Every structure is written in C-alpha cells, then in structure tokens.
C-alpha cells in the first residue's frame, strides 16, 4: 500500500507560457521567458483557504494568465503581482491570480494564490492606481 501525500489531490500544474511581454510593458521590468506553474503547496492553499472560489479559479486560471483583463501590483506585495480576468459565473466576478516576480530554479513563475474579486474590489484597485487595463497584449496606464 502506498503512502498518501499530505497534499492529497493537489497536484502541481504547468499552466503554459507566461506572458512576460505584457508584464514587462506594464511595469518596465525585464522578466525572462518562462512558464507559469502552480505548485502543490499553492494548489492546496487555494483549495483550503478559498474553498468557495476554488472550482472557478482552477477552471479559469490558465485563461487569466494567457489573457488578463488587468494586471497590477499592490504596494504591500512587492514580490508578486496580480493578473485579473472577468469571468461569467452567474454574477459579476473576476478571477485574480497572484504570481511571483522571480522565476524559480526551473525558470517558472510561481502562482502563489488565486481567488474571486467582486466588481467593487476591482474598481477600488483601479481607483487607487494598482491596476492596468490590458488589451490584446498591450497595456495602458492605470485604468
């Protein structure tokens, strides 16, 4: 009989190419190409700390990374940034994916969390200048 991992069903996932050009344009960074990766630890964090959001976040995570509606960085979280995409889930909502700015030892950009935001929270972040609107791989200043 095998040993059960403390992570259970929370497998690591490679979510494909990370759109560094969008991030570099928005923040003036020089990030190297790499993939976005969800570790087992982050996967478990999302499932256990955001259980009501888990299914929607996991279903839309790759799409958020590939084509975000907004990208941003909150002042208290300088080591990662946020990618946000509006989704249709029976109410107005958006999936936020928080990703580290530094690639790991594999050259992948690690997802640290994901949860749903309401329209009010998006507007608050926009008004504070934390979010930039993204359209077709292009960024515009604070939206």
Measured between alpha carbons, how far is 69 from 83 in angstroms, rounded to an integer? 8
Residue by residue, DSSP assigns 7-76 as: TTT---EEEEE--HHHHHHHH---PPP-EEEE-HHHHHHHHHHSTTTHHHHHHHHHHHHHS-SEEE--TT
Measured between alpha carbons, how far is 139 from 124 in angstroms, rounded to an integer? 19
Establish if 5 belongs to a structural domain: no
Q: What is the mean pLDDT of residues 2-8?
A: 45
Establish if 143 belongs to a structural domain: no
Please tell me the total count of domains within the chain.
1
Q: What is the mean pLDDT of residues 2-27?
A: 77
**Which tokens belong to 75?**
């002042």
Establish if 2 belongs to a structural domain: no
Query: Would you state the torsion angle of the CA atoms of residues 104, 107, 111, 112, taken in this order, to the nearest 10 degrees?
Result: 10
What digits encode the pLDDT tens for the residues 45-90? 999 999 999 999 999 999 999 999 999 987 777 788 899 999 887 6
Q: Residue 86: which H helix or E strand, with range?
A: strand 80-88
Establish if 110 belongs to a structural domain: yes
What digits encode the pLDDT tens for the residues 95-142? 999 999 889 999 999 999 999 999 899 999 999 988 989 865 444 444
């Amino acid at each position: 009989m095998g040993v059960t991992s403390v992570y259970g069903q929370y497998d690591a996932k490679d979510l494909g190419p990370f759109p560094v050009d969008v991030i570099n344009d928005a923040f003036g960074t020089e990030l190297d190409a790499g993939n976005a990766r969800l570790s087992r630890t982050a996967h478990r964090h999302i499932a256990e700390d955001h259980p009501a959001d888990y299914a929607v976040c996991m279903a839309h995570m790759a799409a958020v990374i590939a084509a975000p509606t907004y990208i941003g960085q909150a002042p208290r979280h300088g080591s990662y940034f946020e990618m946000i995409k509006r989704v249709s889930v029976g109410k107005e909502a958006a999936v936020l994916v928080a990703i580290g700015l530094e690639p790991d030892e594999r050259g992948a950009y690690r997802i640290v969390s994901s949860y749903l935001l309401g329209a009010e929270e998006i507007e608050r972040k926009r008004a504070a200048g934390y979010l930039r609107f993204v359209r077709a791989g292009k960024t515009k200043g604070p939206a």
